[in-house]
Structures are given as structure tokens and as C-alpha cells.
């Protein structure tokens, strides 16, 4: 059971995240934002309260980077999609070369890998941001992928089996 000491922080962090991140992307696409404080102010102007720590986590989740524009000003931007595709193909390769088998145990996928590669395989899976994936836990050659429910686990199993085929 999760113990919540501050319901406002919990809601801010967990339920409002997708909307807040969408607004962040909108802001950085329209304005030259070069600091987190500027971004916090822009969010506040749109009625979204956030802490610096939450904003920092959002920016990390969205993989925002700083880029120097043609005008010489530094600003936050979302990385180009080509980089995401390149990372995706590398992650697929890591999985194909390390995973030996996948089995379903209710809402948990059990993944067997070559010795010493379970952590790398989990890292690759985490990097793919599968819907319903709660977290991964890796040993030496075995990993557990915790899913939100059995349907999500079955869907991920099918997806991973296609990737490994």
C-alpha cells in the first residue's frame, strides 16, 4: 500500500503529469525558454503550479535538451524524432541478442537472458516506454517485468515476441 503524506504532491506528480507535460511541450515550441525558472513561470501563467523538482523530472522523462538556435540563444527543445528511431533500433538489437525466453505469470513477465545480460535487457525495455509497464527487476540472467494488469502483460508479451522473431 502506498502511503501518501501530501495528497497535493501525489496528485501533481501522478495524475496531472500527462497534461502538464503536454503544456510544457507547447510552451517550449512557442517560446525561447532557457531555464527551469522561466518554464515554471510560463506554467504558472497558464494556471499550472509545479515544483522545480517535479519540473526537472518531467523534463528528464521527456528527454528535453538545450539547443543553440540560429539567433545564438540557448533554449529547451524536444530532441528530433530521428534520434528516437535510432535509439529504438539499438534497443531492439540489445533485446534480440540477449533474451532467451519469455513467460507469463499473471501480470508479471519472466524474461530469461544470456548470463549477465538481464540488466541490459531491462534497461532496453525501460527505454522503450511500454504502456502498462510498472517496473523491471533484473538479476544475472532472469528479469521480472511488472505490469499494471494481466491484459497489459499479455500485450507486452506479444509485442516482445514479435520483436524477438
**Is the domain of 91 the same as that of 144?**
yes
In this predicted structure, the answer to whether residue 147 has a pLDDT above a threshold of 70 is: yes
On whether residue 47 sits in a domain, the answer given is yes
Count of structural domains within the chain:
2
Alpha-carbon distance of 154 to 93, in angstroms, equals 22
- The whole-number pLDDT of residue 84 equals 47
- The span from the CA of 1 to the CA of 5, in Å, is 13
Residue 50 lies in a domain: yes
Q: How far apart are CA 110 and CA 90, in angstroms?
A: 22
pLDDT tens column, 23-67: 898 899 899 999 999 999 999 998 888 899 989 988 888 888 888
- Does residue 30 lie in a domain region? yes
Closest CA to 91 of 129, 57, 63, 62: 129
pLDDT of residue 42: 93
> 57 and 14 in one domain?
yes
Which tens digits make up the pLDDT trace of 64-122? 888 887 788 889 988 765 344 445 677 778 788 889 999 999 999 999 999 888 888 88
Distance CA 27, CA 2 (A): 33
Buried b (16+ CB within 10 A) or exposed e, 68-85: eeeeeeebbebeeeeeee
Domain match, 31 and 48 both: yes
pLDDT band at 154, cuts 50/70/90?
very high
Residue 93 sits in the same domain as residue 73: no
Residue 1 falls inside a structural domain: no
Q: Nearest 5°: phi and psi at 30?
A: -110, -20
In a domain? residue 2: no
Last residue of one domain, picked from the residues 29, 55, 77: 77
Q: Is the same domain home to 95 and 148? A: yes
The predicted model gives 133-154 an average pLDDT of 93
- Residue 102: CA atoms inside 13 Å, Cβ hemisphere, count? 24
Residue among 161, 164, 122 nearest 139 (CA):
122
Helix 36-45 and helix 52-61: axis angle, to 10°? 100
Residue 36 domain boundaries: 7-77
Amino acid at each position: 500500500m502506498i502511503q501518501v503524506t501530501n495528497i497535493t504532491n501525489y496528485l501533481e506528480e501522478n495524475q496531472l503529469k500527462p497534461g502538464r507535460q503536454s503544456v510544457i511541450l507547447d510552451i517550449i515550441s512557442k517560446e525561447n525558454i532557457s531555464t527551469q525558472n522561466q518554464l515554471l513561470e510560463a506554467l504558472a501563467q497558464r494556471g499550472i503550479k509545479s515544483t522545480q523538482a517535479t519540473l526537472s523530472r518531467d523534463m528528464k522523462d521527456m528527454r528535453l535538451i538545450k539547443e543553440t538556435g540560429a539567433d545564438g540563444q540557448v533554449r529547451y527543445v524536444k530532441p528530433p524524432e530521428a534520434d528516437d528511431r535510432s535509439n529504438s533500433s539499438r534497443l531492439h538489437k540489445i533485446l534480440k541478442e540477449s533474451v532467451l525466453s519469455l513467460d507469463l505469470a499473471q501480470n508479471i513477465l519472466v524474461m530469461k537472458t544470456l548470463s549477465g545480460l538481464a540488466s541490459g535487457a531491462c534497461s532496453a525495455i525501460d527505454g522503450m516506454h511500454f504502456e502498462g509497464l510498472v517496473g523491471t527487476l533484473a538479476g544475472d540472467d532472469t528479469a521480472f517485468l511488472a505490469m499494471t494488469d494481466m491484459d497489459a502483460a499479455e500485450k507486452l508479451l506479444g509485442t516482445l515476441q514479435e520483436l524477438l522473431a
